[in-house]
Amino acid sequence: MYKKQNLTYVLTMLEAIEKIFLYTQDIKDADDFFTKNQQMNFNACQTLLLLIGEEVRKIDEGLEAEHPEIPWHLIIGLRNRIAHDYRSIDPNISYDIVTNYLPVLKQTLIEMIPKIEFEDELMERILSSDFYQNIGYLRDIDDKS
């Protein structure tokens, strides 16, 4: 079992993913992603992708190692690119990440939750927070190993 701090990191990433899905649900391609609402959706998603990269840096290495299917180093690299070279972000790459890679990351993060040691009250307190409005489905995860 991994330290309970990992729960916050995983849930924060899941919430960010759900928000990205919400902000891109009506977007049909990379050009639409970049231009919609005067780039508001694009900018919001970039910030959330940056947040995901920041949280990945905090997860226990052993927990990451159990999921080699995820390119953790590339997620951190994307975070660094967004933070330090924002103008060069290619909307095509971002759109590809959102549509093809975030669903896999989401599933992996959900699979990580039972590997983390935490009290049920902590999960409920986090999920009841105003910040975590889109991951209430996690209340159904009760098969902690």
- In terms of Cα–Cα distance, which of 42, 37, 49, 21 is closest to 133? 21
As given in the structure block, the two tokens for residue 115 are: 């590997």
At 142, the pLDDT band (50, 70, 90 cuts) reads low
> What is the rounded CA–CA span in Å between residue 124 and residue 121?
5
pLDDT of 143 over the 90 cut: no
pLDDT digits (tens, 9 = 90+) for 56-74: 999 999 999 999 999 999 9
pLDDT digits (tens, 9 = 90+) for 4-32: 999 999 999 999 999 999 999 999 999 99
pLDDT score of 133: 94
pLDDT digits (tens, 9 = 90+) for 77-119: 999 999 998 788 999 999 999 999 999 999 999 999 999 999 9
Share of the chain above pLDDT 90, in %: 91
Burial degree of 110 (CB within 10 A; 0-12, 13-18, 19+): middle
pLDDT score of 87: 81
DSSP state of 58: T
**Residue 128: other Cβ atoms inside 10 A:** 11
Residue type at position 9:
Y
Question: What is the value of pTM for the model shown?
Answer: 0.93
